Structure 1
Amino acid sequence: MFSAAPGLRLPGPYRSLFADRTFRQLMPVFALSDLGDGMTVVAVAWLALTLGPEGGQGALAGLAVASYILPGALGALILGRWMRLLPAPRLLVTDSALRAVLLGAIPLAHLAGWLTPAVYVGLLAASSLLHAWGKAGKHALFAPLLPEDQRLAANSVLSTSLWSATIAGPALAGLLAGLVSPAWIIGVDAVTFAVLALQTSRTALPRSPAPPATDRTQRGLSILRRQPELFGLLLVTWVFNLAFGPVEVALPLFVSGNLDAGAGLLGAYWAAFGIGAVMGAMALGAARRLPLWLAMLGIIGGHGIGMLPFAITDTAIPSLIGFALAGLVYGPYSALSFTLIQDRAPAGSLTTVLAARSAVLLTASPLGAAAGGFLLDRTSAPAVLVGCGALMILTVPVSIVVLKLYGSRRRRSQPLHAPAERATCTD
């Protein structure tokens, strides 16, 4: 797919996209890094289970998953004054180099016998501090490079790479975990970040436009608060991500404890979810024919229903099918939510709103993972997984009521001479 001579069978936009030499140089290392990140979905939690004390494995797994994500949200907020002054390539190289060094220290510490739970969590947390800025740099990298009509195709290729890594990465990690320690799988991810940093630093890229001097996150949050529908979308998505957070911690314990299986089956679960998500994303055209809010709340409820088969613990088949269904339903969610934001946000503030949204949403899944780890030491993995599904299902009627009440109050507070806002709580 990433050959130097793009095949003529590619559709027109992609043919011209892969004709760009710089894109061809960078896209393979992006895909490699995505694959490495896909492998850590299994490796981070599985290594925590091997390091955790008896009776405290769930808490350590939750803390490890949270520490691998949450500091990125803190870095997005705390370090913005300095990091937003850097051009996109520098952001990507700095984040990739930091992650290569600190994630690479995990297998070395394991080899030396120094990898205690505290060292492990500390290295994961430090490695993720700049990751929100690195991802922002990755997506902004091609803006000055590609004409506007090619950016959609570039974003599509980046998304396809991520979804493909969701399928292949966990499955590959599950196979490798039967041969080597999960610490070495994290080391492989570190190597992919080193390659990404090296290739990006060697590639000649045009200078990105200077960032604005204003605090984009604060201004974006202000816009979201003034738009009932966008603010409601942010809250609903935050709760959705919070409800999914414990799954990353409870699923490894479900596989190892209730099913008495290894990391290979854990990889199969995540691969099934990824395959379902890819198939669901292909159904985006059908989903867009529905009212957007109805479609998104339906996705949350359907995802929750897909989690309920985890109540069956004597065989993996029902929960594997349910998890694949959850992925299938989830597939269109991100595209639909971005469509709603693009439709409702002021055109000149779209990137500001998206930056603020990302900073807020980065906190949800880690908090859910930490809560899931706490609960796992007090209840069973199936109870946590089914509870996640129940919370998602409950989110739907609560969201409908809250969004309608919030939208009605906003409309009543408008002056009589003011034009009605386009944002409502239902499409």
Structure 2
Amino acid sequence: MVTTDPQPDTVPAAVRALRRSGPPVRQAWAAYAISQAGSGIGAGALPLVAILLLDASDWQISLLAAVAGIAGAVAVVPLGPWVEFHRKRPIMIGVDLLRGVTLLSVPVAAWTGGLTFGQLCLVAAAQTVGTIVSSAASTAYLRSLVPGDQLVMVNSRWESTMWTASTLGPPAGGMLASWLGALAAVLIDAASFLLSAVTLGRVRHREPVPVPVIAGRGRHSMAEMTAGWRHIGVHPVLVRLFGHALIFGGCIVASTPLIAVLMLRDLGFSPAQYGLALGVPCAAGVLGSVLAPRIIRWAGLMPTLLAAGAARCLWMAVIPFAPGTTAGLVLIIAADTALLLCAGIFNPAFSTYRMRAVADGYLARVTAAWAVSSKVAQPIVIAAAGVVAAAVGARVALLGLAGVLLASMVVLPWRSWTTPDSAVSIGPVQTAGAQP
């Protein structure tokens, strides 16, 4: 008898994990893939609209990113407990609708002649709020959907989806903007969120009953709003991963404009060569996320997390020594490729560890606290690196960031890690049984 079903060894393990997990996981992944594709295409669309339609100045473009990021992150703090104590799928649908509708308001305002820079700032802040809240809710929701033994595989698929969208989306968005105008990418991004909301609405899965609020502690009390940070602080592994993540994320984000200055001004590379250096290494992130489940099966979850976490800190130190030649371009691409390969391996391992390590009733707030801290810390590191670059040049500033990254390897939990399932609680949490 001939069968048309692919044999197990011909199908990626992450795909098999999605199949075994059932329709709800596949539908949730489809919604995530749709929104990520739209976000990839819409990356940089709001600054482009500000430049082309509003003739915004350089400082306004910087203000758009900084104010929207910080304001959005601060607005999320009181929302953390609200997310934790409510069912997650309606929240995910709601923030998709929020992001879609606010983005859609931009072309509508532009076509009616009412678009302002203030509106763009509000829309960008809404995107930040939606991204952080969606991440917090979806992390907790995914843990309720996926059996524990399939978390690595499913996280790998989520990670490879993100890297694919990051690789292919921006060039597609740039071409759309060139052909159809600056608003085209915004429309695609808005449509992706609305379609994602519709897809999530079709998921048929009964969530566990949300953890109720502890008697005497309101959902918006300071104790509940800061519970995510306090939970991280008392966990011997998470607190070290948290500190390392803030340092790594800040250095990587701060290095982006400095690498642009180094390549385009100091080394004399063309914009096309700079674009090549940005785009090609992203494929390594996809490869790393695909390889992660096999490496974790072979080496173990925590050894993979530690090795990949340390390895991703090594490669920035190479970039400042690149000459302004073809060999220098190849060196920059190779260093960034190695960095993103290690990051692609690290991220699924980290996501899986955090899902297993955080106690019930805290995962959404821990995820939100992580994201809020990153959104606040990154502009600070960017500003500090900018001051150093203004004083001593981009090359020296990059060397400084590379040194900080190398030093951050010490922060990783080399000696404090325990069994991933050993969640630490910061206080009594009333839990309710999951509905069948």
TM-score, normalization: structure 1?
A: 0.73
Q: 1:7 Cα deviation (Å)?
A: 5.1
Tell me how far apart the structure 1 counterparts of residues 341 and 106 of structure 2 sit (CA, whole Å). 34
1:17 aligns with 2:15: no
Q: 1:155 Cα deviation (Å)?
A: 2.8
Q: Deviations over 1:266-305 (max 9, x none)?
A: 7644432321222334554289586865652342232x22
CA contact (8 A) 2:388 2:397 kept: no
Tell me how far apart the structure 1 counterparts of residues 252 and 44 of structure 2 sit (CA, whole Å). 15
Of residues 369, 384, 391 in structure 2, which corresponds to 1:359?
A: 369
CA contact (8 A) 1:144 1:206 kept: no
CA contact (8 A) 1:277 1:327 kept: yes
Tell me how far apart the structure 1 counterparts of residues 94 and 111 of structure 2 sit (CA, whole Å). 26
Tell me how far apart the structure 2 counterparts of residues 278 and 174 of structure 1 sit (CA, whole Å). 21
Of residues 301, 304, 308 in structure 1, which corresponds to 2:320?
A: 308
Q: Which residue of 1 aligns with 2:430?
A: none
Q: 1:150 Cα deviation (Å)?
A: 4.2
1:334 aligns with 2:347: yes
Which residue identity does 1:176 align to in structure 2? Answer: L
CA contact (8 A) 1:248 1:369 kept: no
Tell me how far apart the structure 1 counterparts of residues 325 and 181 of structure 2 sit (CA, whole Å). 27
Provide closer, same or farther for how the CA distance between residues 104 and 370 of structure 1 changes in structure 2, counting only shifts above 3 A.
farther
Q: Which residue of 1 aligns with 2:117?
A: 117
Aligned length: 397
Tell me how far apart the structure 2 counterparts of residues 260 and 248 of structure 1 sit (CA, whole Å). 15
CA contact (8 A) 1:75 1:129 kept: yes
Q: 1:144 Cα deviation (Å)?
A: 4.5
Tell me how far apart the structure 2 counterparts of residues 110 and 398 of structure 1 sit (CA, whole Å). 45
1:297 aligns with 2:310: yes
Q: Which residue of 1 aligns with 2:336?
A: 323
Q: Deviations over 1:151-210 (max 9, x none)?
A: 443333222211211211122223323324343212211110011112222443323421
Of residues 245, 253, 262 in structure 2, which corresponds to 1:237?
A: 245
Q: Deviations over 1:2-44 (max 9, x none)?
A: xxx9855436774473363344444333212111112233434
CA contact (8 A) 1:171 1:270 kept: no
1:164 aligns with 2:164: yes
Map residues 394-413 of structure 1 onto 2, 5 A cutoff: 394-397=404-407, 400=410
Q: Which residue of 2 aligns with 1:415?
A: none
Provide closer, same or farther for how the CA distance between residues 366 and 81 of structure 1 changes in structure 2, counting only shifts above 3 A.
closer
Q: Which residue of 2 aligns with 1:276?
A: 284
CA contact (8 A) 1:252 1:266 kept: yes
Provide closer, same or farther for how the CA distance between residues 367 and 307 of structure 1 changes in structure 2, counting only shifts above 3 A.
farther
Provide closer, same or farther for how the CA distance between residues 165 and 291 of structure 1 changes in structure 2, counting only shifts above 3 A.
closer
CA contact (8 A) 2:136 2:363 kept: no
Tell me how far apart the structure 1 counterparts of residues 259 and 112 of structure 2 sit (CA, whole Å). 29
Q: Which residue of 2 aligns with 1:31?
A: 33
SS in 2 for 1:213: coil
Provide closer, same or farther for how the CA distance between residues 312 and 136 of structure 1 changes in structure 2, counting only shifts above 3 A.
same
Provide closer, same or farther for how the CA distance between residues 106 and 240 of structure 1 changes in structure 2, counting only shifts above 3 A.
same
CA contact (8 A) 1:306 1:325 kept: no
Q: Deviations over 1:317-362 (max 9, x none)?
A: 554444333323432232454576578x5xx627736742541343
Provide closer, same or farther for how the CA distance between residues 363 and 398 of structure 1 changes in structure 2, counting only shifts above 3 A.
closer
CA contact (8 A) 1:6 1:18 kept: no
Which residue identity does 2:19 align to in structure 1? Answer: F
Tell me how far apart the structure 2 counterparts of residues 41 and 175 of structure 1 sit (CA, whole Å). 12
Provide closer, same or farther for how the CA distance between residues 331 and 11 of structure 1 changes in structure 2, counting only shifts above 3 A.
closer
TM-score, normalization: structure 2?
A: 0.72
Which residue identity does 1:359 align to in structure 2? Answer: A
CA RMSD of aligned residues (A): 4.3
1:224 aligns with 2:225: no
CA contact (8 A) 2:281 2:336 kept: yes
Q: Which residue of 2 aligns with 1:204?
A: 204
Tell me how far apart the structure 1 counterparts of residues 363 and 44 of structure 2 sit (CA, whole Å). 32
Tell me how far apart the structure 2 counterparts of residues 339 and 26 of structure 1 sit (CA, whole Å). 17
Q: Which residue of 2 aligns with 1:412?
A: none
Tell me how far apart the structure 2 counterparts of residues 143 and 398 of structure 1 sit (CA, whole Å). 29
Tell me how far apart the structure 1 counterparts of residues 169 and 139 of structure 2 sit (CA, whole Å). 21
CA contact (8 A) 1:6 1:15 kept: no
Provide closer, same or farther for how the CA distance between residues 112 and 180 of structure 1 changes in structure 2, counting only shifts above 3 A.
same
Q: 1:91 Cα deviation (Å)?
A: 0.8
1:393 aligns with 2:394: no
Which residue identity does 2:43 align to in structure 1? Answer: V
Tell me how far apart the structure 2 counterparts of residues 32 and 142 of structure 1 sit (CA, whole Å). 17
Which residue identity does 2:122 align to in structure 1? Answer: G
Query: Which structure 2 segments of 5+ residues have no match?
Result: 215-222, 419-436
Between 161-170 and 92-101, the greater mean CA deviation after superposition: 161-170
1:179 aligns with 2:187: no
Which residue identity does 1:38 align to in structure 2? Answer: G
Provide closer, same or farther for how the CA distance between residues 291 and 30 of structure 1 changes in structure 2, counting only shifts above 3 A.
closer
Map residues 52-63 of structure 1 onto 2, 5 A cutoff: 56-57=57-58, 59-63=59-63
CA contact (8 A) 2:163 2:286 kept: yes
Query: Which structure 1 segments of 5+ residues have no match?
Result: 408-420
Tell me how far apart the structure 1 counterparts of residues 238 and 280 of structure 2 sit (CA, whole Å). 31
Provide closer, same or farther for how the CA distance between residues 187 and 309 of structure 1 changes in structure 2, counting only shifts above 3 A.
farther
Provide closer, same or farther for how the CA distance between residues 39 and 119 of structure 1 changes in structure 2, counting only shifts above 3 A.
same
CA contact (8 A) 2:152 2:349 kept: no
Tell me how far apart the structure 1 counterparts of residues 181 and 106 of structure 2 sit (CA, whole Å). 11
CA contact (8 A) 1:217 1:359 kept: no
Between 96-105 and 138-147, the greater mean CA deviation after superposition: 138-147
CA contact (8 A) 2:76 2:368 kept: no
